[in-house]
């Protein structure tokens, strides 16, 4: 049996291990941390549980597919529910909007609360669906680094509709054109943050993102987001995958221009192929430092990062739902600070994820677990201790104003995650959440392919390579990668 070695057990690394096991490979995974999941992990303390990283779940079929290819019924191992309300939005002037998952109900809600026409919203969601239909087969499901992708029938359809796919406009310009109302434009501009981008720079192609939430649906795993990684990890184990924790990889071994193994804690492990799930930039700086460096890709600007306060709040706020956004009054200035000034705006937009709304045991009775996040620049050597202290004060003041309570006095548990600790815990270059930024129309083409063009039998997956960051794209990176690898005749996984 041929052996596959996987570097890292982020969600894409776990998915890769499953796909390779199903193909008949003997798979070993080497993880620097003491746990699987990478960013998709959990934090617990004082009776509170928090999903540590990604908090929104879309395209659940990407998770289910991994169970199906292994011959398992997904419902026996992983349960989730569709959200009726995707997000609650708050503005300083007291305006509030519920983003109902049903597009028509959402349009009616916005029209009533903001006094705008429903038509603009319906048009944006219609165009979002159109873009998704034409772009996702190319940019999400296939390698951009293979000629066959550009000769496929889906590519021809995209070429014929090039002017309608948002390549020549920004997200902000697109939203202003169709939505008019500043609050509504701000609401739809927020989707740029889903891959760490700036709506005033990123191309309008990213307006495909609302389609995922409103037309396809937003979901919540019944056991929390962490259950995505844990259920898949258990599936991998059941297929015979062997995981090694606290086992940082020191080098990808190369012989005759072919990846042939790993050096792990001073010992060499041989393999027939290697899959790298570590952040691409840090991988080339460390475990691939002896190899030819893709300088153009390594030097690309990085995405934004995050500052997260995990707060145990000893009070229940009825207006707080699963997902909540408290908007800045000057959104453009906020992104100016993040991407051009490399600092944090004094009035940041605040996101609160409270899983206890749907999973009550995530907080003590009469309390809430607040995953409280703002978008911040990636780590460029800033004085983070000072920035964090100032941001914490500004966030508390904002939430106290809008929720009419002294929030600081209600905090009985706190942990903090900042760009420095994101980088150290997940090997994400500069603590950037999504690898290279998507602030140009060419960004999609400036992601590392899912295979090495220099070394045979070396493959890549994860949020820092094609097709990008976030749970669905990371899972798709593993799928695209695995399609480059032939299956073996002895394929035990698929028979189960």
pLDDT digits (tens, 9 = 90+) for 32-49: 999 999 999 999 999 999
Question: Are residues 130 and 150 located together in one domain of the fold?
Answer: yes
pLDDT for 494 beyond 60: no
**Structural domain contains residue 432:** no
Predicted confidence at residue 223, as pLDDT, reads 96
**Structural domain contains residue 99:** no
* Residue 51 backbone dihedrals phi, psi, to 5 degrees: -75, 125
Question: Are residues 414 and 396 located together in one domain of the fold?
Answer: yes
Question: Are residues 312 and 277 located together in one domain of the fold?
Answer: no
Predicted confidence at residue 153, as pLDDT, reads 80
What's the mean pLDDT in 404-427? 96
Question: Are residues 280 and 309 located together in one domain of the fold?
Answer: no
Question: Are residues 415 and 468 located together in one domain of the fold?
Answer: no
Choose between 444 and 178: higher pLDDT: 178
Predicted confidence at residue 319, as pLDDT, reads 97
Residue 496: pLDDT band by 50, 70, 90 thresholds? Answer: very low
Nearest to 419 by CA among 388, 464, 462: 388
Predicted confidence at residue 416, as pLDDT, reads 98
Question: Are residues 245 and 263 located together in one domain of the fold?
Answer: yes
Nearest-5° Cα angle at 452, 229 to 434: 45
Predicted confidence at residue 439, as pLDDT, reads 87
Residue 490: pLDDT band by 50, 70, 90 thresholds? Answer: low
CATH number at residue 274: 3.50.50.60
Please state, rounded to an integer, the average pLDDT across all residues of the chain.
93
pLDDT for 401 beyond 60: yes
Expressed as residue numbers, the domain containing 35 is 3-40+224-300+440-495
Question: Are residues 292 and 366 located together in one domain of the fold?
Answer: no
Residue 492: pLDDT band by 50, 70, 90 thresholds? Answer: very low
Predicted confidence at residue 234, as pLDDT, reads 98
pLDDT tens digits for 84-114? 999 999 999 999 999 999 999 999 999 999 9
Question: Are residues 309 and 422 located together in one domain of the fold?
Answer: yes
Residue 321: pLDDT band by 50, 70, 90 thresholds? Answer: very high
Q: Within 13 Å and on the Cβ side, how many CA atoms surround 469?
A: 28
Q: Give the chain's largest Cα–Cα span.
A: 67
Alpha carbon distance 246, 45 (integer Å): 23
Predicted confidence at residue 150, as pLDDT, reads 67
**Structural domain contains residue 151:** yes
**Structural domain contains residue 314:** yes
pTM score, two decimals? 0.94
Residues near 115 by Cβ (< 8 Å), separated by ≥ 6? none
Distance between first and last Cα of the chain: 18
């Amino acid at each position: 049996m041929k052996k596959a070695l996987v570097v890292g057990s982020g969600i894409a690394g776990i998915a890769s291990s499953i796909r390779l096991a199903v193909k008949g490979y003997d798979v070993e995974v080497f993880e620097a941390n003491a746990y699987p999941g990478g960013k998709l992990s959990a934090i617990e303390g004082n009776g509170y549980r928090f999903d540590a990283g990604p908090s929104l779940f879309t395209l659940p079929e990407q998770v289910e597919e991994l169970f199906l290819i292994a011959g398992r019924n997904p419902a026996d191992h992983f349960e989730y529910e569709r959200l009726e309300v995707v997000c609650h939005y708050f503005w300083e002037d007291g305006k509030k909007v519920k983003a109902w998952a049903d597009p028509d109900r959402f349009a009616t809600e916005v029209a009533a609360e903001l006094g705008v026409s429903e038509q603009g919203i319906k048009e944006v969601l219609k165009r979002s669906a159109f873009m998704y239909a034409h772009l996702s087969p190319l940019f999400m499901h296939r390698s951009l680094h293979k000629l066959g992708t550009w000769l496929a029938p889906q590519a021809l359809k995209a070429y014929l509709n090039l002017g309608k796919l948002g390549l020549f406009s920004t997200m902000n310009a697109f939203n202003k054109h169709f939505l008019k109302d500043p609050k509504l434009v701000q609401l739809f501009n927020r989707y740029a943050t889903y891959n760490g981008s700036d709506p005033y720079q990123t191309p309008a192609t990213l307006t495909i993102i609302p389609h995922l939430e409103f037309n396809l649906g937003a979901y919540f795993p019944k056991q929390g987001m962490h259950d995505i990684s844990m259920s898949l990890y258990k599936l991998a184990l059941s297929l015979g995958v062997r995981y090694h924790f606290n086992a940082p990889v020191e080098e990808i071994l190369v012989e005759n221009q072919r990846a042939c193994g790993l050096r792990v804690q001073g010992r060499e492990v041989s393999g027939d192929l290697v899959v790298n799930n570590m952040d691409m930039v840090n991988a080339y700086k460390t475990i691939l430092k002896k190899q030819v460096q893709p300088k153009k890709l390594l030097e690309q600007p990085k995405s934004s990062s995050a500052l997260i306060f995990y707060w145990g709040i000893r009070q229940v706020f009825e207006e707080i739902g699963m997902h909540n956004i408290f908007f800045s009054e000057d959104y453009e200035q906020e992104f100016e600070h993040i991407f051009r000034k490399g600092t944090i705006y004094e009035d940041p937009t605040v996101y609160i994820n409270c899983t206890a709304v749907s999973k009550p045991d995530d907080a003590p009775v009469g309390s809430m677990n607040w995953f409280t996040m703002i978008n911040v620049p990636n780590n460029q050597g800033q004085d983070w201790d000072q920035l964090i202290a100032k941001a914490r004060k500004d966030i508390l003041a904002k939430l106290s104003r809008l929720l009419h309570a002294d929030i600081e006095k209600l905090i009985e548990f706190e942990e903090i995650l900042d760009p420095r600790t994101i980088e150290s815990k997940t090997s994400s270059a500069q603590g950037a959440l999504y690898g290279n930024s998507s602030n140009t129309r060419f960004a999609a083409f400036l992601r590392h392919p899912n295979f090495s063009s220099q070394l045979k039998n070396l493959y890549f997956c994860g949020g820092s390579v094609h097709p990008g960051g976030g749970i669905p794209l990371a899972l798709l990176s593993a799928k695209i990668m695995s399609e480059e690898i032939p299956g073996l005749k002895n394929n035990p996984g698929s028979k189960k």
